[in-house]
Amino acid sequence: MVTILDSKNTKIEIGVIGAGSISSVVHLPLLSCIDHVSIKFIADTFDPKELAKTYNTQSIKITDITSLPNCDIAVLAIPVGVRKKYIQEFSKRKTAIFTEKPFAIDPETHKSFLELSNRISCNYMRIYYNSTRQIKNIITSGIFGPIKKVSITEGGIIGKTGRGKDSYQANPKLSGGGLLMETGCHTLSQLDFLFDDISVRESKVIWQDDFDIDAQIVFDISGSNSFSIDYHITMIKPIETLTTLFFEHFQLSFNHLVPNAVFTISNYNSDKQFTLCQENKFAATFAQAYYLKWKSFLDQIRQGNTIDTKLETSFKTTQMISEIIQKGTPA
């Protein structure tokens, strides 16, 4: 296997395992537009021949994972509950691995995967949003003064999963759980990026048929400026998706799900609101965020750089989900 691609003319061969919507709508269209990338095969438990035909590549119905062709990067766009054997197989081959989120079902499993491979990443792409980067700049610069507290609300699809009974997301053994694993993990990865010293103080989790469907969490941020973050994510009722940072004299609000979100600043002493202009240095669209995530990983693989796998796979996110569930679920 190729471990370091020493020529700019050498194409990185990518094998895609999982022919579902995230591959067909996101990864394959994006990767097919990158010059130094070649899609070597598309594989699934069924024969994805129509999708493979679109990208003029090999179609494989998986019967034995050890017989899958070699490639430079294996994309694991498959449920977290069946991912282990694929990570083990491609790690043995010294193949770089790019997984869909969430990375693992618990911290112990997460650690075990990182022990197998030092060239692995997970698709937490919201850290490339313009809005996420601009908030990071505001926090680190202290331009608005110290943060007093943060409030985050996030409304999901009404119902246990919002998916049909045949979806893998309707099976907690495959999906790993409910809304924290499926959607909350992205927001937690943003918090991991924004705040260095974040910890779960307390939580309350509501369950239905082995799915977490509502979670109310309080985080503590330690350091020179200590404050708390209240985060409520739910599939029980429609609520506004919004992050609000409270400063001494005003508050700043934005939708953390939107790459180029509008920042609204409100003064406590008046009804006036102001809009903060975005710097378009990072992703203004979802497609751009996926591209920047892929570009970062491809550059590291091509250059043979040492990869911070705990950061690339957001180990802190897996830790926080585990702590939220443990602290928020009655014994």
Q: Rounded to an integer, what distance in angstroms lies between the CA atom of residue 313 and that of residue 87?
A: 13
| The token pair that represents 93 in the structure block | 């081959």
> Is 5 a residue whose pLDDT tops 70?
no
Cα–Cα distance measured from residue 159 to residue 182, given in angstroms and rounded to the nearest whole number: 13
Return mean pLDDT, the chain.
90
Q: Where are the alpha helices (DSSP H) in 249-308?
A: 286-303
CATH no. for 12-124+288-309? 3.40.50.720
pTM > 0.85: yes or no: yes
Could you read off the pLDDT of 87-138 as tens digits, one per residue? 999 999 999 999 999 999 999 999 999 999 999 999 999 999 999 999 999 9
CATH architecture assignment, domain 126-281+317-328:
2-Layer Sandwich (3.30)
Residue 81: DSSP 8-state: G
Q: Does 45 have pLDDT greater than 80?
A: yes
What pLDDT is attached to residue 327?
95
Residues of the chain with CATH 3.30.360.10: 126-281+317-328
**Are 298 and 304 spatial neighbours (Cβ–Cβ below 8 Å)?**
no
b (16+ CB within 10 A) / e for 94-123? ebbbbbbbbbbbebebbeebbeebebbbbb
Q: For residue 232, what are the β-bridge partners?
A: 153, 216
Number of H helices, E strands in the chain: 12, 14
Residue 135, SS3?
helix
Cα–Cα distance measured from residue 99 to residue 115, given in angstroms and rounded to the nearest whole number: 16
* The pLDDT of residue 2 is above 60: no
258-317 tens-digit pLDDT: 999 989 998 887 767 777 766 678 999 999 999 999 999 999 999 988 899 999 999 999
Q: Where in the chain is the domain with CATH 3.40.50.720?
A: 12-124+288-309
